[in-house]
């Protein structure tokens, strides 16, 4: 009854299947490849698509980083790292530069990724057209025919109603001039990081059973109109209260003691890195 533990949890047959779907996804950028998603020891909706990609890709020489909404120590990131560590024994890191495999929920790290890295994004809702078409059989046809007027109309209606587009995270993008794709709910701020990314970006939706990809150096355009250009979240005039960073995605905090709103880096390892370097400088400065 007691089974031998498997390297990276999944049996080898399953991994092979997932890698085959991944290769197809890389070959057709932005196209959602259906795959027979396995049940994982984590709940559906908690990153099982990303986790299956990670398990199918991870080898003994990999170094893994997992972030959840920007944080390395967030509940779910910790739980995923624990599982991969327990089943593979590979090292984990918080430093973006050190990782060969990065699994992330809803953020792309602030440090630019390189061609030696793979970014795996967890996807809750892979279908960008689902908001206006509930049937899978219909959205599949719409993609096949590049029939995206619904996606444009959605944005147009927002402009008519509110004077601007009101997408939050998951603002749809056009991949390689062909497929409209849900970039997973990364903030609009991160959309431009996908464009001509040096790293391979893989997106996995476990519950919806889809894998799709943005291969390196692929053109990614966020859907927008000429007279209403695409805009990321605005953090102008704001900086991190710890490391002072500007031009990064910031978390907003309400400080109870002062009743003031303050900001801090959302990418925690980037922030810690900057703080470390500042400290180093101070130390060096002090010894002189």
- The reply on whether position 162 binds other proteins by CB under 8 A is yes
Considering only residues 193, 220, 249, 273, which one is a binding residue for other proteins as defined by CB under 8 A?
249
Cα distance between residue 91 and residue 61, in whole Å? 9
176 close to 29: Cβ distance less than 8 angstroms: yes
Q: Which of 50, 124, 126, 128 binds other proteins (CB under 8 A)?
A: 124
State in angstroms the smallest separation of the CB of 116 from other proteins: 26
Q: Does residue 69 interact with other proteins by CB under 8 A?
A: yes
Alpha-carbon distance of 69 to 268, in angstroms, equals 10
Contact pick of 29, 58, 62, 68 for other proteins (by CB under 8 A) = 68
Q: Sign of the CA dihedral 152, 158, 163, 167? A: negative
Residues with Cβ within 8 Å of 55's Cβ and at least 6 positions away in sequence, in order, are: 8, 9, 10, 15, 18, 84, 87
Minimum Å gap between C-beta 233 and other proteins is 4
Closer residue to other proteins, CB minimum distance, 79 or 176: 79
For other proteins, the binding residue among 19, 28, 63, 74 (CB under 8 A) is 74
7-46 positions binding other proteins, by CB under 8 A: 9-14, 17, 34-41, 43-46
Q: Which of 30, 47, 49, 50 is catalytic?
A: 30
For other proteins, the closer CB: 115 or 164: 164
The CA-CA-CA angle for residues 70, 73, 74, to 5°, reads: 65
Binding marks (x or -) toward other proteins, 84..103, rule CB under 8 A?
A: --------------------
Q: Cα(183)–Cα(180) distance, rounded to whole angstroms?
A: 9
Q: Which of 47, 55, 70, 243 is catalytic?
A: 243
Residue 254 found at the interface with other proteins (CB under 8 A) = no
Other Cβ atoms less than 10 A from the Cβ of 175: the count is 23
Q: Mark whether 55 is an active-site residue.
A: no
Alpha-carbon distance of 251 to 245, in angstroms, equals: 12
Binding mask 186-225 for other proteins (x = CB under 8 A): xxxx-----------------x-x----------------
Which residue's CB is nearer to other proteins, number 135 or number 277?
Answer: 135
Q: Environment class of residue 59 by beta-carbon count within 10 Å: exposed (0-12), middle (13-18) or buried (19+)?
A: exposed
Name which of 145 and 227 has its Cβ closer to other proteins: 227
Note if 168 is an active site residue: no
Site size with other proteins, rule: CB under 8 A: 78
Using CB under 8 A as the binding rule, whether residue 176 contacts other proteins is answered as no
Which residues 6+ apart lie within 8 Å of 203 measured at CB?
A: 49, 50, 120, 121, 123, 126, 183, 184, 211, 212, 213, 214
Among 257, 260, 284, 286, binds other proteins (CB under 8 A): 257
Distance CA 97, CA 199 (A): 12
User: Which residues face 200 on adjacent strands?
Assistant: 118
**Which of 19, 20, 24, 78 is in the footprint of other proteins by CB under 8 A?**
78
Alpha carbons 221 and 268: distance in angstroms, whole number = 27
Tokens of 68: 């959840």
Selecting among 49, 50, 204, 240, the annotated active-site residue is: 240
DSSP class of residue 272 equals: H
Q: Which residues are catalytic?
A: 30, 240, 243, 265, 271
């Amino acid at each position: 009854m007691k089974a031998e533990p498997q390297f990276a949890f999944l049996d080898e047959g399953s991994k092979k299947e997932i890698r085959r779907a991944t290769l197809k996804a890389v070959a057709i950028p932005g196209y959602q490849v259906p795959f027979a998603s396995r049940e994982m020891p984590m709940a559906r909706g908690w990153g099982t698509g990303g986790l299956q990609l990670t398990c199918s890709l991870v080898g003994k020489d990999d170094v893994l980083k997992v972030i959840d909404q920007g944080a390395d120590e967030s509940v779910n990131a910790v739980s995923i790292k624990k599982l991969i560590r327990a089943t593979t024994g590979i090292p984990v890191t918080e430093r973006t530069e050190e990782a060969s495999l990065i699994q992330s929920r809803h953020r792309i790290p602030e440090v630019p990724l390189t061609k030696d890295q793979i970014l795996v994004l967890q996807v809750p809702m892979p279908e960008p057209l689902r908001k206006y078409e509930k049937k899978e059989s219909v959205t599949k046809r719409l993609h096949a025919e590049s029939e995206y007027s619904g996606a444009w109309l959605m944005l147009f209606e927002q402009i008519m109603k509110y004077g601007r587009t009101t997408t939050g995270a998951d603002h749809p993008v056009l991949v390689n001039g062909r497929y409209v794709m849900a970039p997973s709910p990364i903030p609009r701020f991160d959309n431009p990081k996908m464009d001509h990314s040096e790293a391979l970006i893989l997106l996995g939706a476990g519950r919806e059973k889809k894998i799709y990809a943005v291969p390196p150096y692929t053109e990614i355009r966020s859907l927008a109109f000429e007279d209403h250009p695409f805009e990321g979240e605005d953090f102008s005039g704001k900086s991190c209260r710890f490391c002072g960073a500007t031009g990064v995605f910031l978390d907003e905090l309400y400080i109870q003691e002062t009743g003031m709103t303050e900001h801090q880096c959302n990418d925690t390892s980037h922030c810690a890195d900057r703080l470390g370097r500042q400290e180093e400088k101070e130390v060096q400065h002090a010894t002189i």
